[in-house]
Amino acid sequence: MSKKEKIIKVASKYFSEVGYDKATLDDVAKEVGVSKAAIYYHFKDKFALYEAVLCSRFGELAKIIDKIDDSKPIEALREYIESFGKFLVDKPCFSAIFARELADGAMNMPASCSKQMSLNLQKLSKILQNGEAENLFEKENPFMVQMMIVTPLINYRTTKKLREVVMANLKDIKNIDVDLEDIIPNLASKIIKALKC
Amino acid sequence: MSKKEKIIKVASKYFSEVGYDKATLDDVAKEVGVSKAAIYYHFKDKFALYEAVLCSRFGELAKIIDKIDDSKPIEALREYIESFGKFLVDKPCFSAIFARELADGAMNMPASCSKQMSLNLQKLSKILQNGEAENLFEKENPFMVQMMIVTPLINYRTTKKLREVVMANLKDIKNIDVDLEDIIPNLASKIIKALKC
DNA sequence: CAACCTTTACTTACTCGTCAGTAAGTTTAT
DNA sequence: ATAAACTTACTGACGAGTAAGTAAAGGTTG
């Protein structure tokens, strides 16, 4: 792995753990084992490094989503949800970064990333439209459906510690802390049920 | 309104708009029309001010949720979702603060707030249990249901600008930008449908 | 083949702005 | 008179960004 790739990897860890503002390039440099100026050799500024992290992840995700065969609406919707979920499981840093970006109103999302998000939404929209044409689904606002899929999953990831606190407060509630992997097919079934005519 | 209340109000605006780190007490002081040191007269430090903002909001929400009559599960669940939605509509600053807090893993949520969140979850859990007892709902993980309710709504609020960008990218997708008010009953119906046996 | 540029990939050591937090003094109400 | 509610003017730290220098690798020319 090149130094540049290593910088992106470590930076994505820090951006994920503490957020853009609290992540310092001194820390990133230290962990990579280079000087801070080395980061500035590879990236124009802190934000450019953040863009590199973001774009690499959104690019991978868009590729996966694009491959989904949208001819069978219900199967396609399940695959859409499970592919997204699997991506979150595979890339543990992505959830927190994505969640913060949405919470922030995607204020500093580079155009190339929002374009790839748009493509994902276009795929979802097509699945929903096909389902509507076959009288399987009601007419829906695709952005709202996107929110129903994406936000519970990313925030389930980010709120592990909160669940522990809540469980300590409410001893009568059990089995709250299920793994994300087990949540995904459950959420997929619920969303499909909710959208079916 | 006292100076202290005014400081909380203005601070909640800034925390909501730019987040904890980027919100500066100089800006808050300027807008309130006091000196920065006046803030330190009322609050120990920046974080104590943030706690005050958070606690006042979570306190109000917990009061509203607590009043819900949980004897009729389906009506109660609808009321739970619509009450939460109405709260977001009424308190425009709350969505972004809550969304950031969840994205952050609720790392710096004061114990009093997480206690009130626990009470909300307890209410939801009771509604779901009653529904289960009457064979209306399947057995569910209440935290996951909470995520399904809370996260789409708060993030729908925070992503208004993102929707505009996406709409500009995909001209064939129309009517994405519906008001939050119109989304709430729709989401409530979908979640109830998803949870019903 | 060797003395010479040139580029790549960095390092060391610094500046400079910002912002949380404070010390000490001042006004206002009771 | 004295406590509450401030103000002015400051400090100190942190962290983004930079200037200037260097070591090594590769290419060019006499």
Same domain, A87 and A140: yes
Rounded Cα distance between A29 and A149, Å, is 36
Considering the domain boundaries, does residue B8 fall inside one? yes
Q: How far is CA B49 from the centre of its chain?
A: 18
Considering the domain boundaries, does residue B49 fall inside one? no
Segments of chain B scoring below 70 in pLDDT: 175-176
Q: What is the pLDDT of residues B87-136, one digit of tens each?
A: 999 999 999 999 999 999 988 799 889 999 999 999 999 999 999 999 99
The pLDDT confidence band at residue A1, using thresholds 50, 70 and 90, is confident
Q: How many CA atoms lie within 13 A of B72 on its CB side?
A: 4
Same domain, A134 and A80: yes
Considering the domain boundaries, does residue A51 fall inside one? no
Question: Å from A2 (CA) to C8 (C1')?
Answer: 14
* Residues B121 and B99 sit within 8 Å (Cβ to Cβ): no
Considering the domain boundaries, does residue B51 fall inside one? no
Q: What CATH code is carried by the domain that includes residue A111?
A: 1.10.357
Same domain, B112 and B38: no
Rounded Cα distance between A20 and A112, Å, is 19
Same domain, A94 and A135: yes
The pLDDT confidence band at residue A122, using thresholds 50, 70 and 90, is very high
Whether A175 has a pLDDT exceeding 80, the answer reads: no
| Complete DSSP assignment for B134-147 | TTSB----HHHHHH
The total of structural domains in chain A comes to 2
The pLDDT confidence band at residue A172, using thresholds 50, 70 and 90, is confident
What is the mean pLDDT of the segment spanning A21-31?
Answer: 97
Question: Å from A44 (CA) to D17 (C1')?
Answer: 10
> By percentage, how much of chain A surpasses pLDDT 90?
88
The whole-number pLDDT of residue A88 equals 98
Considering the domain boundaries, does residue A168 fall inside one? yes
What is the mean pLDDT of the segment spanning A35-63?
Answer: 96
Smallest Cα–Cα separation from A121: which of B167, B175, B160, B99? B167
The pLDDT confidence band at residue A171, using thresholds 50, 70 and 90, is confident
Whether A116 has a pLDDT exceeding 90, the answer reads: yes
The whole-number pLDDT of residue B115 equals 93
Same domain, A93 and A145: yes
Q: What CATH code is carried by the domain that includes residue B22?
A: 1.10.10.60
Question: Å from B8 (CA) to D1 (C1')?
Answer: 33
Q: Which residues pair with A170 in a beta bridge?
A: none
Whether A27 has a pLDDT exceeding 80, the answer reads: yes
Same domain, B35 and B82: no
CB proximity list for A12: less than 8 A, separation 6 or greater = A53, A57, A93, A97
CA distance readout (Å), B58 to B62, B117, B122? 6, 7, 15
Same domain, A26 and A72: no
Same domain, A76 and A147: yes
Nucleotides of D under 7 A from a protein CB: 5-9, 14-20
Residue closest to D8, CA→C1'? Answer: B35
Q: Which domain holds residue A27?
A: 1-43
Same domain, A62 and A27: no
Residue B182 in contact with partner chain A when CB distance is under 8 A: no
Considering the domain boundaries, does residue B48 fall inside one? no
- For the entire predicted model, the pTM comes to 0.94
Same domain, A104 and A150: yes
Nearest-neighbour CA in chain B from A25: distance (Å): 16
> Quick check: B6 CB within 7 A of strand D?
no
The whole-number pLDDT of residue A19 equals 95
For residue A21, list chain B residues with Cβ-Cβ distance below 8 A. Answer: 19, 21-22
The pLDDT confidence band at residue A174, using thresholds 50, 70 and 90, is confident
> Quick check: A20 CB within 7 A of strand D?
no
Rounded Cα distance between A192 and A137, Å, is 9
The whole-number pLDDT of residue B28 equals 97
The whole-number pLDDT of residue B170 equals 86
Considering the domain boundaries, does residue A50 fall inside one? no
What is the mean pLDDT of the segment spanning A22-46?
Answer: 97
Considering the domain boundaries, does residue B26 fall inside one? yes
Residue A138 in contact with partner chain B when CB distance is under 8 A: no
What is the mean pLDDT of the segment spanning A13-39?
Answer: 97
Same domain, A130 and A181: yes
Same domain, B148 and B100: yes
